[in-house]
Each structure stands twice: as structure tokens, then as C-alpha cells.
Structure 1
């Protein structure tokens, strides 16, 4: 075994210097001797053994239990956060529904108010038209009454003027046609008729 280690060392030294390792020693191509730990264990065995020892120490100290506990705690936190998120989502959905209902109610109320305002406006317009028609009829009646009163006053005034004119004309006729002797005959005739 010592020979193979020596040959490997010579071979490496020859590669570095570019010379042949030893006279009469042939190069075996790319074959190298595998290093050994303390001359009996290859590095793969050492690494495997140290990993097994490390894992055993970790199991002995309870590291998997700590990791599982940490993961369980983290899972519990995530579940709590998910439950809180579900609760918040449900509350948000309830608020959204409530506000949607309020908006729909407000739109319905606004439509009802608008319809009510239209009906009131139509009622006011109808009442105003009725009132205007009544005022027009009343004014026409008042105008006709004034015209009738004016006609009556004019007729009365004309009658009074005609009566005054007739009385003046009769007075003039009587004064011109009657004398004292004619009056005496009329008075005698009136007394005789009694």
C-alpha cells in the first residue's frame, strides 16, 4: 500500500514538473490513487459516518421535536390568520351587502321622491289651471256685471233724461196750449166726474 501511495505522489510530482515520475515506471493514464483517512477509511466513509453521528446527536438533543413544534406553531399561526382572514372577509361581504342594500334603498327612495315631486307638481299645475280658470270666469262675470250695471245706469240715466225732456216738452206744450179758461174747464170737468 505504501508503494501505491508513493507512486501516486511521484506521478503528481512528475505532472507538476513535466518529467517522468521514475525511470521504468509507466504512466497508467488517468488513474489516481484515492486518498485515505489515517490510511484505512476513504473520504466517503468519513463523511457518511460524520453525517450519521451529526444526525444521531440532533435526534438525541430533540431537534426534530423542536422543528416539529416550531412547524406546528407556525401552522397554528397560519390557521389563525386564515380564520381571521375568513372572518374579515365575511365582515367585508356583510358590509358590502349592507352598503349595496343602502344604495339600492337610497335609489328607490330617490325614485319615489322624484315620482312624488312629479305628482305634486302635476297637482299644483292642475290646481293652478283650475284656479286660473275660476279667476277668469269670476273676472268675466265681474266684467259682465259691471257692463250690465253700466248699461242699467245708462238706461236709467237715459230714461231720466227722456222723462225730464218729456216733462219739459209737456210743460212747454201745456204752457203754450193752455190758458186760464182752458184750465177752468178742465177743473170743472174733473169735479163733475167725481
Structure 2
């Protein structure tokens, strides 16, 4: 039995354990294990706390993103409404502009027609006066003729104009 290596290993192990117990190594090892356990527990607590903070930050950023998306949608909707309003306003202004231009053109045409009629009447009056002058000059002579001629010319001009 003392010749076998396993026996000597067992005896050395028992002596080593007795020696460790005598010097209190087991307390040091247990204390180191307890410290390591406490450190691991503290790290786990920190990790849990950091995880909770990260979850809060994530929720906060998601809420901000949702708020920003809603705000962007509101801005887009407002811009579309504004563009539609501006387009409708531009259409109304264009219609008013076309109506005013049409009215102005019609007024100019009416004025041109009236002017043409007046010019034709004036030309007809001048022709009638000239014809009446020629006829009266040939048929009536003397101062009476000149007076009648002047009176007739003024009357014809007043009536034709």
C-alpha cells in the first residue's frame, strides 16, 4: 500500500489540507471567493441598471422619433394645403386677369368702333357740307347766299357730329 503512488498522493493531499487548515488558507480562499461573488453580483446589478437605463433611453428616443414623424407629417400636410391654396389663388387671379384683359380689349374695340363711326359721320358731314356748299354757291349768289351758306354749314355740322 505505501508502495503505490496513489497512496502517497492521497497522503500528500491530506497533509496539504491539514496544513491549509492550520494556516487558515481555507478562510482566505473562501474570502476571495466571497469577494469575487460580491464583485460579480455588483457587476450584474450594474449591468441590470444599465440595461434599464438603455431601455428608458430607447423608449425616449422612440417617442421622440414618433413625435418627429408626426411633426413631419403635419408639416407636409400643411405644405400641401398651402400649395393647393396658392394654386387656387393663382387660378382665381389668372381668371380675374383674363377677365380684365378681355373687358379692356372689348372696351378698346367698342371705342375703336365708336371712333370709326364718328370718323365716318365726320367725313359724311364734310362731304355733305362740301356738296351743299357747291350746290348753294352755284344756285344762290350775293351776301344772302354767303349768310345762308354759313348758317347751313354750321347747322349741318352740328346735326351730323
Partners of 1:103 and 1:46 lie apart in 2 by 72
Q: Larger helix proportion, structure 1 or 2?
A: 2
Corresponding residue number in structure 2 for 1:162: 124
Of 146, 151, 155 in structure 1, the residue corresponding to residue 108 of structure 2 is 146
Structure 1 residues 149, 91: closer, same or farther in 2, change over 3 A?
A: same
Structure 1 residues 75, 173: closer, same or farther in 2, change over 3 A?
A: same
Deviates more, 1:169-178 or 1:118-127: 169-178
Of 172, 175, 181 in structure 1, the residue corresponding to residue 134 of structure 2 is 172
Partners of 1:46 and 1:181 lie apart in 2 by 179
8 Å Cα contact 2:20-2:26 kept in structure 1: yes
Is 1:132 aligned with 2:94? yes
Partners of 2:12 and 2:24 lie apart in 1 by 18
Corresponding residue number in structure 1 for 2:62: 100
RMSD between aligned alpha carbons? 2.6
Partners of 1:161 and 1:47 lie apart in 2 by 150
Q: Cα distance, 1:67 vs. partner?
A: 1.4
Corresponding residue number in structure 2 for 1:10: none
Deviates more, 1:131-140 or 1:148-157: 148-157
Larger Rg: 1
Structure 1 residues 126, 36: closer, same or farther in 2, change over 3 A?
A: closer
Structure 1 residues 92, 43: closer, same or farther in 2, change over 3 A?
A: closer
Gaps of 5+ in 1: 1-34, 187-194
Structure 1 residues 173, 72: closer, same or farther in 2, change over 3 A?
A: same
Deviates more, 1:85-94 or 1:42-51: 42-51
Is 1:110 aligned with 2:72? yes
Is 1:58 aligned with 2:20? yes
Structure 1 residues 36, 90: closer, same or farther in 2, change over 3 A?
A: closer
Deviates more, 1:140-149 or 1:48-57: 48-57
8 Å Cα contact 2:2-2:8 kept in structure 1: no
Q: Cα distance, 1:45 vs. partner?
A: 7.3
